[in-house]
């Protein structure tokens, strides 16, 4: 494990913004204050850069970002249209050049007071620090319940994520460069990043109310992200088809035997057995065949993602004498 405490890093905040004109000004003020404190305490070596990504806003968001970029500490990135939160976040992470990147929401729901703790974890060697909500007090009952159900579902599908972590996190340069190698279009960043396998740390924070404006995540977008989480990481649903096929095959074999016995005993009308037995058999063969196709489809799907086959964390080599 590396200890980086002797060498303060450079830092960038990465913030996706979609129709956030009501919060930009406060966001800049808050993050600049955090940056000054960090600089004073020696946690970073230069004032932090703010990478603000405008995700195709139709209000004054880009105007505000553009104006702020003149000050020298803001790098604005404008996407051609609304690409969605995950894509905007990725664009920001790829556009930043600093050694440590912290992503957070524009609405200041991700409490900036957790940032020094994240940097401490980085100094002690963590490459990825997840901000995890200490409680879900500020959520509606519906959101709380559906979130719990969703994390359970992900777990059952074999998707490895940190529960109650949105996209408030610190990433080291090394982990961002590895993320760059993931070429997938279906983006579920919190899954991919947990999957990188580097040293991970968790910092708890209290999620506060949105500073201003309305949520940009209506139920439809939330559901889309939820489905993305399962389908971009797991081919288990396809495998379940094979299992269902095998179970149905077993049941139909038993039912087939039963209907032949009934026919033998003469308890059926003519034609019944010859219709029922092939129907059962064909149904189960079809399901099994679908399952087999699913197995290959799953393989093709994983191949097309072109994820790195392995990720090296460190290399230890003998020192070469000069
Ligand atoms: N966002 C975005 N593109 C979108 C939707 C949202 O960049 O299509 C940004 C938004 O500006 C905010 C973050 O994603 O910075 C989280 O959105 P929001 O706070 O509305 O979600 P909630 O906290 O309500 O789940
Ligand atoms: Mg929010």
92 Cβ contact list (under 8 Å, min separation 6):
14, 15, 16, 51, 52, 53, 77, 103
- Tell me the best of 54, 87, 107, 221 to mutate to test the pocket of ligand 1, counting ligand atoms within 8 Å of each CB and taking the most: 107
- Indicate which residue's Cα is closest to atom 1 of ligand 1: 85
> Mind listing the pLDDT tens digit for each residue in 256-294?
888 889 888 988 888 888 888 888 888 888 988 999 999
Say if residue 76's pLDDT is above 70: yes
What is the length of the chain? Answer: 322
What pLDDT is attached to residue 2?
A: 63
Average pLDDT, the chain: 91
Token pair 């399952």 is found at: 291
Give the angle 37-42-47 at the CA atoms, nearest 5°.
Answer: 60
Helix (H) or strand (E) holding 35: helix 24-41
- What's this model's pTM, rounded to 2 decimal places? 0.86
Helices 272-305, 236-264: inter-axial angle, 10-degree rounding: 170
Ligand 1-lining residues (CB < 6 angstroms): 16-18, 20, 55, 82, 84-85, 88, 105-107, 109, 215-217
What pLDDT is attached to residue 226?
A: 87
> Mind listing the pLDDT tens digit for each residue in 110-166?
999 999 999 999 999 999 999 999 888 777 888 888 888 889 988 888 888 999 998
Token pair 């980086």 is found at: 4
Q: How far apart are CA 117 and CA 114, in angstroms?
A: 5
Say if residue 1's pLDDT is above 60: no
Distance 259 CA to ligand 1 centre (A): 59
3-class DSSP state for residue 12?
strand
What pLDDT is attached to residue 38?
A: 96
Strand partners, 213: none
Distance 175 CA to ligand 1 centre (A): 23
């Amino acid at each position: 494990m590396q200890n980086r405490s002797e060498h303060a890093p450079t830092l960038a905040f990465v913030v996706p913004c979609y129709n956030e004109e009501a919060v930009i000004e406060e966001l800049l003020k808050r993050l600049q204050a955090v940056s000054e404190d960090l600089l004073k305490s020696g946690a970073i070596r230069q004032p932090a850069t703010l990478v603000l990504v405008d995700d195709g806003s139709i209000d004054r968001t880009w105007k505000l970002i553009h104006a702020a970029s003149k000050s020298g500490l803001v790098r604005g990135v404008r996407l051609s249209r609304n690409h969605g939160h995950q894509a905007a976040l990725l664009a920001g992470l790829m556009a930043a050049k600093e050694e440590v990147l912290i992503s957070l929401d524009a609405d200041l729901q991700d409490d900036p007071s957790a940032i020094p703790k994240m940097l401490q974890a980085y100094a002690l060697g963590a490459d990825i620090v997840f901000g995890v909500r200490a409680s879900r007090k500020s959520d509606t009952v519906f959101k709380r319940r559906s979130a719990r159900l969703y994390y359970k579902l992900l777990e059952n599908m074999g998707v490895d994520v940190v529960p109650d972590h949105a996209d408030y996190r610190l990433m080291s340069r090394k982990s961002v460069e590895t993320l760059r190698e993931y070429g997938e279009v279906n983006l579920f960043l919190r899954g991919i990043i947990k999957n990188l396998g580097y040293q991970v740390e968790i910092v708890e924070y209290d999620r506060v109310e949105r500073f201003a404006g309305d949520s940009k995540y209506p139920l439809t977008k939330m559901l889309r992200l939820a489905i993305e989480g399962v389908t971009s990481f797991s081919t288990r649903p396809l495998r379940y088809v094979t299992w269902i096929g095998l179970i149905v095959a077993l049941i139909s074999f038993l039912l087939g035997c039963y209907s032949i016995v009934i026919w033998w005993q003469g308890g059926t009308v003519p034609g019944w057995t010859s219709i029922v037995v092939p129907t059962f058999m064909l149904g189960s063969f079809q399901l099994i065949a679908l399952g087999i196709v699913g197995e290959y489809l799953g393989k093709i799907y994983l191949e097309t993602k072109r994820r790195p086959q392995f990720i090296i964390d460190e290399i230890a080599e003998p020192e070469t004498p000069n």
